[in-house]
């Protein structure tokens, strides 16, 4: 436990990136999967059958290092919640820019 308390945020990210990668990639999957399912005409099915289970899986996996006391609480919050939210905001912004550039 004392080792976890002495780690920096970047060290925690380097050591446990495999645990957090699902949470980091989920925003892209959610955004582009939602757009694709909307075009196919099944957005509700995508949301409940694909996105929600994947969201809970990614969150459970990202919270595992903190539950095992391998990272500090705030490191888990930043890497598992705030960083994915920032990724989602950037992905939405990039999507809006792409729509604008296409003339939409």
HSE of 84, CA atoms in CB hemisphere, 13 A: 24
52-91: per-residue pLDDT in tens?
999 999 999 999 999 999 999 999 999 999 999 999 999 9
Q: What is the mean pLDDT of residues 41-61?
A: 96
Domain ranges of the chain: 2-101
Tokens of 7: 């780690």
8 — pLDDT class (breaks 50, 70, 90): very high
pLDDT given at position 5 = 72
């Amino acid at each position: 436990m004392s080792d976890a308390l002495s780690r920096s945020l970047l060290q925690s990210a380097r050591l446990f990136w495999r645990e957090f990668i699902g949470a980091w990639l989920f925003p892209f999957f959610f955004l582009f999967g939602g757009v694709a399912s909307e075009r196919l005409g099944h957005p509700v099915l995508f949301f409940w059958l694909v996105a929600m289970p994947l969201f809970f899986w990614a969150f459970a996996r990202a919270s595992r290092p903190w539950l095992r006391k391998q990272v500090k609480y705030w490191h888990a919050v930043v890497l598992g919640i705030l960083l994915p939210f920032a990724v989602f905001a950037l992905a939405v912004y990039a999507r809006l820019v792409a729509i604008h550039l296409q003339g939409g």
